[in-house]
Amino acid sequence: KVTCVYSYTDENEVVIDYTAVSNKNTLCNLTNHAFFNIGDDDTVLSQELMIKSHKITLVDNELIPHGEYMNIDGTPYSFYPAKTLGQDMFSDASMIKNCNGFDFNYCIEREGNGLEHFAYVYDKKSGRRMDCFTTLPGVQLYTSCHMNFFGKRHYGDHAALCLETQGYPNSPNCPQYPTTVLKAGEVYSTKTVYKFSVVTD
């Protein structure tokens, strides 16, 4: 049994609360796939991103991790310290080139088990900022690497980004990663918050 509650607070927060219980041991790794572009441009390339992470789960050519980690400090994969998304979007780094951008699980540098700040996105032109908090150990950064959607406007490559909080992908097959098994009778309970503000300096 799974419950997901979306709330909007007076502090301009979108809060996502997930809970689940099971009568048998089962895999449980819940996330969301919301797309964000907090600026006015057609892409997020000029927006600044920080993700509090020193490593990602290394992937193969099909973007599947197999239990390995990759230290990303000082590499094009790192957003710690912050940088614009466009700075390394077109890097020759093999996995970025394969993705046409970023589609990787970042291992969040956590201080405890509670709700913690792990990322922000900032659009200097508009002053808009989105701060991100979670109780989960990982976040998948996806930069709309292969988009070609038409609605009221055309949404092409890098039109938005996703910050999908989660347990590590493929963890059922990778004992090196934190488990995503929900044991019978236990309660799965996680929270993710996206907080919006305007910087006026």
Instruction: Render pLDDT for 44-56 as a digit per residue (tens, 0 to 9).
Output: 999 999 999 999 9
Exposure string for 79-105, b = 16+ CB within 10 A, e = fewer = bbeeebbeebbeeeeebbeebebbbbb
Mean pLDDT within 176-194: 97
Are 132 and 186 a contacting pair, CB within 8 Å? no
Structural tokens at position 75: 């590499």
Active site residues per annotation: 33, 164
Confidence of residue 154 (pLDDT cuts 50, 70, 90): confident
Amino acid at 13: E
Distance CA 92, CA 158 (A): 17
pLDDT at residue 124 is higher than 90: yes
Evaluate if residue 14 carries a pLDDT over 90: yes
| Tens digits of residue pLDDT in 60-109 | 999 999 999 999 999 999 999 999 999 999 999 999 999 999 999 999 99
Residue 97 to residues 58, 88, 102, Cα–Cα distance (Å) = 14, 10, 9
CA separation, residue 147 to residues 75, 100, 143, 161 (Å): 25, 11, 9, 11
